[in-house]
């Protein structure tokens, strides 16, 4: 499954891709349409979205059936690399 130059962890790395226009976020048991600020995709096809919600950035991960996104409780390194390039949402 892996060649000698890649490890299993390399498949879980996310790369910034063209930002999706609109996604469905399952927020407080309600599906809400949101406009991502940035989209990332792993080599396995998993997607993550960074959205703006109030004065915060929220990280969303694609649900297994790829119908909507759920909030992510952790900031993983690939998302962190994108977050540090964004302006502070509380300062406009």
pLDDT tens profile 2-31: 455 555 556 679 999 999 999 999 999 999
24 lies in some domain:
yes
92 lies in some domain:
no
Measured from the Cβ of residue 76, the count of other Cβ atoms closer than 10 Å reads 15
Q: Answer whether 34's CB lies under 8 Å from 28's CB.
A: no
Averaged pLDDT, 76-89: 93
Total of domains in the chain: 1
pLDDT at residue 21, as a whole number: 97
E strands within the chain?
A: 14-17, 23-27, 30-34, 38-42, 47-53, 56-62, 69-71
Give the domain range for residue 37.
8-87
37 lies in some domain:
yes
17 lies in some domain:
yes
pTM, 2 dp: 0.84
Half-sphere exposure of 30 (CA within 13 A, CB side): 4
How far, in Å, are 26, 67, 86 from residue 54 at the CA level? 16, 24, 15
57 lies in some domain:
yes
pLDDT digits (tens, 9 = 90+) for 40-67: 999 889 999 999 998 899 999 999 888 9
2 lies in some domain:
no
């Amino acid at each position: 499954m892996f060649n000698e130059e890649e490890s299993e962890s390399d498949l879980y790395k996310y790369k910034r891709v063209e930002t999706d226009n609109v996604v469905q976020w399952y927020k407080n048991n309600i599906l809400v349409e949101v406009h991502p600020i940035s989209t990332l995709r792993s080599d396995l096809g998993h997607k993550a979205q960074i959205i703006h919600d109030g004065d915060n950035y929220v990280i969303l991960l694609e649900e297994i059936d790829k119908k909507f996104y759920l909030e992510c409780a952790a900031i993983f390194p690939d998302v962190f690399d994108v977050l540090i390039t964004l302006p502070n949402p509380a300062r406009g």
